[in-house]
Amino acid sequence: MAETVLEIENLVKNFGALRATDGVSLDLRQGEIHALIGPNGAGKSTLIHQICGTLKPDQGNIRFSGQDITALGVAERARLGLGRTFQVSSIAPEFSALRNVMLAVQAKQGTSFRFFTPVMRDRSLTEPAMAMLERVGLAARADIPAAELSHGERRQLEIAIALALESRAFLLDEPMAGMGPEGSKALTGFLDGLRHEAPILLVEHDMDAVFALADRISVLVYGKIITTGTVDEIRRDPAVRSAYLGDHA
Amino acid sequence: MTLSRETLINLILIVLLAAVPFVALGIGQPFYITLATRIAILALAAVGLNLVLGLGGLVSFGHAAFFGIGGYVAGILAAHASSGEALMFGLAGSDQMPVIWLVTLIVCGIVGLAIGAVSLRTSGVYFIMITLAFSQMIYYFAVSWPAYGGEDGLSILVRNRFPGVNSMKPISYFLICLGMLIAGLGLFSLIRASRFGAALQAARQNAVRVAAVGISPYPIRLAAFTLSGMITGVAGALYADLNRFASPSMISWHMSGELIVLIVLGGTGRLFGPVAGAMLYVVFEFALGGLTERWQFFLGLILLAVVLFARGGLLGLLAGKARHG
Ligand SMILES: Nc1ncnc2c1ncn2[C@@H]1O[C@H](COP(=O)(O)OP(=O)(O)OP(=O)(O)O)[C@@H](O)[C@H]1O
Ligand SMILES: [Mg+2]
């Protein structure tokens, strides 16, 4: 069995009386795409937030590359190699697409405490950033302020940022949302190759993409994982069909 | 090389400011030199604030603390230099501006680090209030310190000296202040274009994003806050030397508000926002202040108009929207 990169153990998160994460355990192995599906409000994003550190769990542990990261902050986890995209795109809106990626390249290179060299003339920043934009097909839009990018382009930009961080695991929260059929297809092909660079925990409502990509699928309902299995197992599972898939399977 | 519209406007502004004292001499109105010097100094103080407010999006309502500390450093060092009494730890006073500025940088750096370390743990309205609270503490400390003038402030008998220049001559002193303003603008422009500046500006736009790429916003903001206080501090030292007087009013919250107003008038986050703002402010104060006691009421109206209809301030109106690389 492939090496486990990310391991979540018995995670619990309450929002007041609502238990959004209810004893979730889950792992992500080298080379795989592990899809996390479930109805709206199941707690998928809440789980991603806890893995990235934007939310603190009430109980449980998160291990990443053999290290307990439960107590670490967002930036520390990112430096360890957790790259994410947000369900609602999160970028620096006034910066151009290129500068958004350059910020990630700069972060990857280490210190931001450099005061005197202009970033736009620093080819160790601009070149890798441009290369990442090319990879996601956004090179032609490099100079456009991120706020003016279309919804789909912002998703691509977030992926370029995660790539620039040379992440050791990707956490993608609905990367296909708002992309349109063309964009979804292209992104599906892209993610298919990306899994060989680093494993992907993929939250996605687009079932075609999930079934095409996932090595394993976990189904989250009301904060609990009701089952984990291969695409075929999940398609056949009666509990999953009633809870989520409906007639899609 | 083609100049951008904004660069051109910046050049015009600085040339305009530099020309005022010479015109003033030409028409025999030396008073205008003082006005131009005041503009240069306030602009420098606002350049400091612009680092946290404009680039970092952190509304410090306590920058008068640094302005005042700079003023008192100038006053206290000068007082000890003339009396010959030693300061603490047996250190001597000084009437040399470069020494005074250096001491100001050190003191404001330490105070900035301390105030920033606490204040930056909060955000939004809490940040505004806590920076205000710190500056008020320093204000009351100055007021209740009889050794250095208490409520009455501290006079500087003879303006401090600058090597090779007769600082008593108004035009020479103006040129010193203009030089410091240009140095401050140069520093601001370097920082804005740097990696540090990129992280600072990105943290204003989206702090979660910055953390998600692995940069912690807190130390970046703390460094910016500290640097910012140091720059505003030096402006305070210059201001005390201009008036030959360091008073608690330099530390009052009015002063902090004035600096914010300057920046908003001129253009928040713009390199020359503080310069344009200081020009407008001092000219208003002078022109309207002569006509009516209530000039600040009219300033308030103008400010309201800027906030409602010209968010980019004067520079936004003249040079259009700011562009980031
Ligand atoms: N910060 C919060 N405070 C209170 N309740 C929250 C908070 N964030 C999420 N919730 C609630 O927790 C539950 C899980 O939300 P979450 O966003 O994780 O769902 P999701 O599975 O990502 O849904 P979707 O598919 O719509 O994105 C929802 O009922 C939501 O209303
Ligand atoms: Mg969600």
The ligand 1 atom nearest the CA atom of A48: 18
Question: How wide is the angle at C-alpha A28 spanned by C-alphas A27 and A33, nearest 5°?
Answer: 135
User: For the residues A68-92, what does the mean pLDDT come to?
Assistant: 94
Structure ipTM: 0.90
**Ligand 1 atom closest to residue A205's alpha carbon, by position in its atom list:** 25
Ligand 1 center to residue A34 CA distance, Å?
A: 20
Give which of A99, A62, A95, A67 is closest to A80, Cα–Cα.
A67
Please compute the mean of the pLDDT values over residues A152-179 and round it to a whole number. Answer: 92
CB contact under 8 A, B196 and A115: yes
> B244 vs chain A: nearest CA distance in angstroms?
34
- Chain B environment of A113 (Cβ under 8 Å): 195-196, 223
For chain A, how long is the longest CA-to-CA vector? 62
Backbone angles phi, psi at B132, to 5 degrees: -60, -45
- Give DSSP secondary structure letters for B147-181: GGTGGG-EE-SS--BBTTB-TTSHHHHHHHHHHHH
> Quick one: pLDDT band at residue B76, thresholds 50, 70, 90?
very high
Ligand 1 centroid distance, CA of A107 (Å): 30
Grade residue B184 by pLDDT with cuts at 50, 70 and 90. very high
What percent of chain B has a predicted confidence (pLDDT) above 90?
78
Which stretch of DSSP H or E encloses residue A221? strand A216-221
| Ligand 2 centroid – CA A38 distance (Å) | 10
Give the single-character DSSP code of B91: -
Task: Calculate mean pLDDT across residues A100-125.
Answer: 95
- Whose CA is closest to A60, among A7, A15, A5, A3? A7
Amino acid identity, position B279: M
Stated as kind and residue range, the H or E segment containing A171 is strand A169-173
* Residues in chain B closer than 8 A to A114 (CB atoms): 194-196
CATH code of domain A1-81+169-192+199-249: 3.40.50.300
| DSSP secondary structure letter of residue B55 | I
Best of A103, A111, A157 to disrupt the B interface (most B CBs within 10 Å) is A103
Using an 8 Å CB-CB cutoff, list chain A residues near B201: 92, 94-95
Q: Which ligand is nearest to the CA of A55?
A: 1
Name the residue of chain B whose CA is nearest to A52's CA: B212
How much is the pLDDT for A183?
85
What is the arithmetic mean of pLDDT over A78-101?
94
Q: Do the chains contact at B201 and A93, CB–CB below 8 Å?
A: no
User: In angstroms, rounded to a whole number, what is the distance separating the alpha carbons of residues A232 and A230?
Assistant: 5
pLDDT of residue A111: 86
Question: Cβ separation of B325 and A75 shorter than 8 Å?
Answer: no
Question: Which are the contacts of A25, defined by CB distance < 8 A and separation ≥ 6?
Answer: A8, A9, A10, A11, A225
Any residues with Cβ below 6 Å from ligand 1, and which? A 15, 18, 20, 38, 40-46, 87
Please give the structure tokens belonging to residue A20.
Answer: 């959004």
Provide the shortest C-alpha distance from residue A247 to chain B (in Å).
Answer: 37
Collapse the DSSP code of B126 into the 3-class scheme (helix H, G, I; strand E, B; otherwise coil) and give the result.
Answer: helix
CA distance B6 to B4: 5
Instruction: Give the atom of ligand 1 at the shortest distance from the alpha carbon of A44.
Output: 21
What's residue B292's pLDDT?
Answer: 75
CA B90 to chain centre: 31
Q: In this structure, which residue's CA is closest to atom 28 in ligand 1?
A: A41
**What is the distance between the alpha carbons of residues A87 and B249, in angstroms, rounded to a whole number?**
50
Q: One-letter amino acid identity for B23?
A: V
Q: What number of C-beta contacts closer than 8 Å exist between A and B?
A: 111
Query: What is the average pLDDT score of chain B?
Result: 93
Distance, CA of B191 to CA of B111 (rounded, Å): 21
Q: What number is the average pLDDT over the span B93-121?
A: 97
- Confidence class of residue B190 from pLDDT cuts 50, 70 and 90? very high
- Across the interface, do B213 and A165 touch by the CB < 8 Å criterion? yes
Question: Please, are residues B61 and B257 in contact by the beta-carbon 8 Å criterion?
Answer: yes
Per residue in B257-306, pLDDT (tens digit) is: 999 999 999 999 999 999 999 999 999 888 887 777 777 788 888 888 88
Q: Determine the pLDDT at residue B89.
A: 74
Measure B212 CA to nearest chain A CA, in Å.
6
Gyration radius from chain B CA atoms: 19
Distance from residue A62's CA to the centre of ligand 2 (Å): 20
Instruction: Give the highest mean pLDDT range of A161-165, B85-89, B307-311.
Output: A161-165
H/E element, B267: none
User: What pLDDT score does B293 carry?
Assistant: 75
Mutate to test the pocket of ligand 1, among A12, A19, A44 (most ligand atoms within 8 A of CB): A44
Residues on chain A touching B190 (C-beta within 8 angstroms): 115-116, 118
Residue A49: CB atoms within 10 A of its CB come to 23
- pLDDT at residue number A243: 73
Strand order in the sheet with A169-173: A82-85, A169-173, A200-203, A33-37, A216-221, A224-229
The arithmetic mean of pLDDT across residues B251-256, rounded, is: 95
Q: Which two tokens stand for residue B216?
A: 């912690």
| Closest residue to atom 25 of ligand 1, CA basis | A40
Whether the per-residue pLDDT at B39 is higher than 80: the answer is: yes
Using DSSP, state whether A87 is helix, strand or coil.
coil
Helix (H, G, I), strand (E, B) or coil at A114: coil
- Nearest-CA residue of chain A relative to B206? A92
Residue A248 has pLDDT above 70, yes or no: no
Query: What CA–CA distance (Å, rounded) separates B53 from B263?
Result: 9
Tally of CA atoms within 13 A in the half-sphere of B250 that contains its CB = 36
Residue B226 near residue B109 (C-beta atoms within 8 A): yes
Dump pLDDT digits (tens) for B202-211: 999 999 999 9
B198–A119: do the CB atoms touch at under 8 Å? Answer: yes
| pLDDT value, residue B262 | 93
pLDDT at A241: 80
Instruction: Give the count of beta carbons closer than 10 Å to the beta carbon of residue A113.
Output: 12
Question: A210 pLDDT band (50/70/90 cuts)?
Answer: very high
B216 compared with A235, residue with greater pLDDT: B216
Average pLDDT over residues A29-56: 95
Handedness of CA A120, A123, A128, A131 (dihedral sign): positive
Q: How many CB atoms lie within 10 A of CB A135?
A: 17
Q: How many angstroms separate the CA atoms of B251 and B136, rounded?
A: 8
- Per residue in B145-181, pLDDT (tens digit) is 888 888 888 999 899 999 999 999 999 999 999 999 9
Predicted confidence at residue B44, as pLDDT, reads 98
User: HSE on the CB side for B86, CA within 13 Å?
Assistant: 4
Q: Residues of A with CB below 8 A from B324's CB? A: 94-96, 99, 145
| pLDDT for the residue A247 | 54
Contact yes or no for B215 and A102 at CB 8 A: no
Higher local confidence (pLDDT), B189 or B318: B189
The model's pTM is: 0.93
Q: Do residue A73 and residue B216 have CB atoms under 8 angstroms apart?
A: yes
Pocket of ligand 1, candidates A12, A14, A18: which has the most ligand atoms within 8 Å of its Cβ, to mutate?
A18
With a cut of 80, say whether residue A244 has pLDDT above it. no
In the predicted structure, residue A249 carries a pLDDT above the cut 70 = no
Strands A33-37 and A200-203 turn out to be: parallel
Answer yes or no: is pLDDT of A237 > 80. Answer: yes
Instruction: Calculate the dihedral angle through the C-alpha atoms of B191, B250, B301, B276, rounding to the nearest 10 degrees.
Output: -40
Span A186-209, pLDDT tens digits: 899 999 999 999 999 999 999 999
For residue B196, the model assigns a pLDDT of 98
**Measured distance CA(B15)–CA(B10) in Å, rounded:** 9
The alpha carbons of chain A give a radius of gyration, in whole angstroms, of 18
Instruction: Give A47 Cα–ligand 2 centroid separation in angstroms.
Output: 9
> Looking at the partner chain, which of B208, B214, B324 has a beta carbon nearest the beta carbon of A96?
B324
Q: Give me the residue label for tokens 């995670």.
A: A11
Which residues touch A150 (CB under 8 Å, ≥6 apart)? none
* Residue B295: per-residue pLDDT: 78
Render pLDDT for B301-325 as a digit per residue (tens, 0 to 9).
888 888 788 888 889 888 887 766 5
**Fold of the domain built from segment(s) A83-166:** Rossmann fold (3.40.50)
Ligand nearest to the CA of A220: 1
List every span in chain A annotated with CATH 3.40.50.300. Answer: 1-81+169-192+199-249, 83-166
Rounded to whole angstroms, the Cα distance separating A11 from A25 reads: 7
Q: How confident is the model at residue A117, as a pLDDT?
A: 92
Q: Which ligand is nearest to the Cα of residue A222, counting in written order?
A: 1
